[in-house]
A and B are shown apart, each in its own frame.
Chain A
């Protein structure tokens, strides 16, 4: 089981269609966002991007490119994302973060909720007249 982190804290996974069909994509962190956008099918509603290590920040660029290219569906960060990266993930265009129960136990809900104010203190929003970087 995994834990889904949103602005309101921990919750269960509500995406029930899995990643085997044609409505969801499960992508590694070295995905080329330019090619991804070119081939993106209209029925895709969920894109999950892997963070094999929290130090691999390529996922932030992939999510942002998806948003800039007009993708309106769900984007999820999956794997080793730490609470300190929650605001970065949200600002880059992710809707939520999927973490293991082990990580959720080590970094409990309060540590993630401490970053739920990601819309505040955001230099990027200031540079862009109020909207977050990925809007």
Chain B
């Protein structure tokens, strides 16, 4: 885990003092509301539908128990007792008072946290693989590179007032668990044919109202070139990206309009100027950062208690089957704690639950936790013999839901319950789908199926890359939900295909049920996932199930 040095601490202290003064200067009129807005946004503070919202950065989703306990403290002391984990591995609080926010930021600074650049037209909190440091399929731990990018992008003087936001993700594994291809810029740690480690860089991915899959701009970048290269990309975009229309301002549009070859040529020219300003200090810093991410000394020992519980306890077995992932050490497991209890708001955790997870991490998990973009919490290293005891405690606190990767493990944006931009509710739709399929007792039989729900066209719920995507719109004052099928958030990324006309609020759950019913009927066997079936048979059978009237009319 990264620990702040004196520089980081002094930086955050100064920054918090500046923000405290900015709040006062807004009140005394030195700053107009227009001027204050981007300043509060670059410090994580939004104005939502009903209140302010503070989005706290969890850089690349990594945190320790003391930090998780502080997140619980914020929820209890300054909010309504809960927080919401987000698709950028952050946490947001929905009800803070403006006057309390400087104190909240100071409390975060005490455990080496901040809310910097979680919003605004800045380079946002860098995200990464939530299994980083534990996954069996990674080339190296991607977090040191993510931390280097965090430091480089923090308060970068050139990039605080850009045309729009800029999102970066870092991955280093065979499987992509960080939705790399949906980012403005993605860094993939790779090896070339000569066996050297370097970076593949993608640009121009994104969701929103114009979903695009990222394109390779540089297939292999030497390690020392990373920061100057990223800086060149952002600098070129900051100059030529469109500022006349915020919906055309993201780099995906710039890449689309200019073409990837033109962008590459501009970036290469700028890189020639910027590269000499990096003389190796960044590489020394990276080497130092890496010492913070040395793997814990994993304990050894038998796993009999695990084997016994797995055989004897069907509830534990169901949880182990869905919520555990392979660890690079065979006697350990990666545990995903579901923040998707059936019928509850996806991603919401109470202060008490946060403390329980912090305690479990301290007791069983080498003091490490992760937040996933799928809005769950992960304990990346747990010895298998500790799993039965841990599961028992999770169950006691509403954290034992066995549904990771299943139909009720839904990503949903806050929607019209909180968000000023939303045109439809998202959370209640997620709750109803989860509750319905829990009643049907079908979800384990259905297997891997990702539903993602956005409450407006901005697509914060990632619906474009869902196996079943749901987009809530406003049609003449009435909520209407469009369905897309066949999206994919992994390295084989795909944008889902629209099924047809939308459904009313009370029709959407039955519509999802018809899609799933069709899948269960036509899948080759129980091992063929929904996505595999969709890719084999295409849209037609699902369309027939969704719109039986249309079929009748044609007949």
Interface residues of B in 254-269 (CB under 8 A from A): 266, 269
A41 at the interface (CB under 8 A from B): no
A13 at the interface (CB under 8 A from B): no
B273 at the interface (CB under 8 A from A): yes
Contact indicator B31/A127 (Cβ below 8 Å): no
Which of B38, B156, B162 is the most central at the interface, judged by chain A CB atoms within 10 Å of its CB? Answer: B156
Interface residues of A in 45-69 (CB under 8 A from B): 54-58, 60-62, 64-65, 68-69
User: What's the minimum C-beta distance from A61 to chain B, rounded to whole angstroms?
Assistant: 5
A126 is contacted by which of B7, B31, B277 (Cβ under 8 Å)? B7
Q: List the A side residues contacting B512 at CB < 8 Å.
A: none
User: What's the minimum C-beta distance from B48 to chain A, rounded to whole angstroms?
Assistant: 21
- From B279-287, B358-366, B439-447, the one touching the partner chain is B279-287
User: What's the minimum C-beta distance from B9 to chain A, rounded to whole angstroms?
Assistant: 10
State the CA gap A126–B227 with chains docked (Å).
13
Interface residues of B in 145-202 (CB under 8 A from A): 151-152, 154-162
A88 at the interface (CB under 8 A from B): yes
A54 is contacted by which of B14, B161, B239, B270 (Cβ under 8 Å)? B161
- From B22-30, B345-353, B424-432, B460-468, the one touching the partner chain is B22-30
A106 is contacted by which of B30, B38, B235 (Cβ under 8 Å)? B30
Contact indicator A34/B269 (Cβ below 8 Å): yes
Q: List the B side residues contacting A83 at CB < 8 Å.
A: 30
Contact indicator B158/A55 (Cβ below 8 Å): no
Q: List the A side residues contacting B266 at CB < 8 Å.
A: 34
User: What's the minimum C-beta distance from A117 to chain B, rounded to whole angstroms?
Assistant: 8
Q: List the B side residues contacting A126 at CB < 8 Å.
A: 7, 151, 281, 285
Interface string of A75-115 (1 = CB under 8 A from B): 00000001111011111100000000000001110010010
Contact indicator A127/B39 (Cβ below 8 Å): no
Contact indicator B158/A64 (Cβ below 8 Å): yes
Answer whether A55 and B161 are a contact pair too, CB < 8 Å, given A82-B35, A123-B156, A128-B282.
yes
Contact indicator A127/B243 (Cβ below 8 Å): no
A133 at the interface (CB under 8 A from B): yes
A121 at the interface (CB under 8 A from B): yes
User: What's the minimum C-beta distance from A62 to chain B, rounded to whole angstroms?
Assistant: 8
Q: List the B side residues contacting A122 at CB < 8 Å.
A: 155
User: What's the minimum C-beta distance from B286 to chain A, rounded to whole angstroms?
Assistant: 10
By beta carbon, the residue of chain A nearest B162 is A57
B11 at the interface (CB under 8 A from A): yes
Interface residues of B in 1-48 (CB under 8 A from A): 7, 10-11, 14-15, 18, 21-22, 25, 29-31, 35, 38-39
A32 at the interface (CB under 8 A from B): yes
Total count of chain B residues near the partner, CB < 8 A:
45
Q: List the A side residues contacting B18 at CB < 8 Å.
A: 84, 114
B151 is contacted by which of A33, A108, A127 (Cβ under 8 Å)? A127
By beta carbon, the residue of chain A nearest B282 is A127
A135 at the interface (CB under 8 A from B): yes
Total count of chain A residues near the partner, CB < 8 A:
43
Contact indicator A84/B39 (Cβ below 8 Å): yes
Interface residues of B in 411-430 (CB under 8 A from A): none
B235 is contacted by which of A64, A69, A108 (Cβ under 8 Å)? A64
Q: List the A side residues contacting B39 at CB < 8 Å.
A: 84
State the CA gap A102–B158 with chains docked (Å).
26
Answer whether A55 and B157 are a contact pair too, CB < 8 Å, given A68-B277, A121-B14, A128-B281.
no
B238 at the interface (CB under 8 A from A): yes
Interface residues of B in 377-391 (CB under 8 A from A): none
A124 at the interface (CB under 8 A from B): yes
State the CA gap A108–B31 with chains docked (Å).
11
B274 at the interface (CB under 8 A from A): yes
A130 at the interface (CB under 8 A from B): yes
Contact indicator A68/B157 (Cβ below 8 Å): no
Contact indicator B238/A57 (Cβ below 8 Å): yes
Answer whether A68 and B273 are a contact pair too, CB < 8 Å, given A60-B161, A84-B22, A126-B285.
yes
Q: List the A side residues contacting B160 at CB < 8 Å.
A: 57, 60, 85, 88
By beta carbon, the residue of chain B nearest A80 is B35
Q: List the A side residues contacting B152 at CB < 8 Å.
A: 123-124, 127
Contact indicator B161/A85 (Cβ below 8 Å): yes
Q: List the B side residues contacting A57 at CB < 8 Å.
A: 121, 158-162, 238
Q: List the A side residues contacting B29 at CB < 8 Å.
A: 106
Q: List the B side residues contacting A20 at CB < 8 Å.
A: none
Interface string of B197-234 (1 = CB under 8 A from A): 00000000000000000000000000000010000000
Taking Cβ atoms with an 8 Å cutoff, the residues of B that contact A are 7, 10-11, 14-15, 18, 21-22, 25, 29-31, 35, 38-39, 121, 151-152, 154-162, 227, 235, 238-240, 243, 266, 269-270, 273-274, 277-282, 285
18 A-B pairs besides A65-B273, A127-B227, A131-B277 with CB distance below 8 A are A55-B38, A56-B161, A57-B121, A58-B243, A60-B157, A60-B158, A68-B274, A82-B35, A83-B30, A107-B25, A114-B18, A121-B11, A123-B154, A124-B152, A126-B7, A127-B152, A128-B282, A133-B158
9 contacts between A and B (CB under 8 A): A57-B161, A92-B157, A107-B30, A114-B21, A123-B152, A124-B156, A126-B151, A126-B281, A133-B156
